[in-house]
Amino acid sequence: MSLPVVLLSKRIEFAAAHRYARPDWDEAKNRAVFGACYNPPAHGHNYLLEVTVAGAVDPKTGMVINLFDLKRVLLHVIEEFDHKNLNLDMPYFKDRIPTSENLARVLWSKLQSQEDIGRLHAIRLYEDEDLYADVTAEWGLDVAAVTRRYSFTATQEGNQGCEWDCFVTVRGPVDPITGMVTDLGALNRLVHDRVIATFDRRDLRQVFGSTIVSGEQLVERIGTSLLSGVTSGKISNICLVQSRDLSFTYSGIVS
């Protein structure tokens, strides 16, 4: 009888700078595609790397993997990237843009070769609190997901407004030219037009024409309104967070 698989996740931080630019494009095209990320010389981030490994629990140690070994490997891998300009200092980005998706893929390749951490299951790389990229063993390295957080305030019931955090996840192939799953500028405009402009500072009962509006109804409306507007990749998940203790998810959008 095979033992059940358990997932173990460990987080670690590092700092690095990057810039989005293609030397074969003129300034107008670079700015149109990459926006502020094109601005020279570079901009920095305090990245948060979350690594998930999979395996059976060792009956002797009670662990999937020794956390000391996992931390040691993670520190060794990120040391190469910490406080570096990814464009100028890292050979991995000589011919590709150091987007979060591409950086996550490079880190995956580095970690996958480390035998001491067991079976690599997923990587999540936070550029900041509002943006992160995922790479998983299931999808392979040609596919990634990127998630952006948006916020708005709306009245659900009574007269008190509620601040909602809306996490929009787009999954698809990583474009070999831009290094991105989707155009984030276009996604920002889409969410602003179809979500923020519709619900922010509004009474949801008036928007829905109903005396009661549930979180389930709201996340479904948001999900269906965004489906047709994404320019590249496909929306795979919408997570609507009402509070620390309550959230609603509209998933299964990508087959």
Catalytic residues: 37, 83, 127
DSSP state of 149: E
Q: And the tokens for 67?
A: 């956390």
Q: Are 69 and 58 in contact (CB under 8 A)?
A: no
CA distances (Å), 111 to each of 72, 76, 108, in order?
Answer: 12, 10, 5
Q: Are strands 143-155 and 202-203 parallel, antiparallel or unpaired?
A: parallel
> Residue 184 carries which side chain, given as an amino acid letter?
L
Residue 70, phi then psi, degrees to nearest 5 = -65, -45
DSSP H or E segment with residue 33: helix 27-34
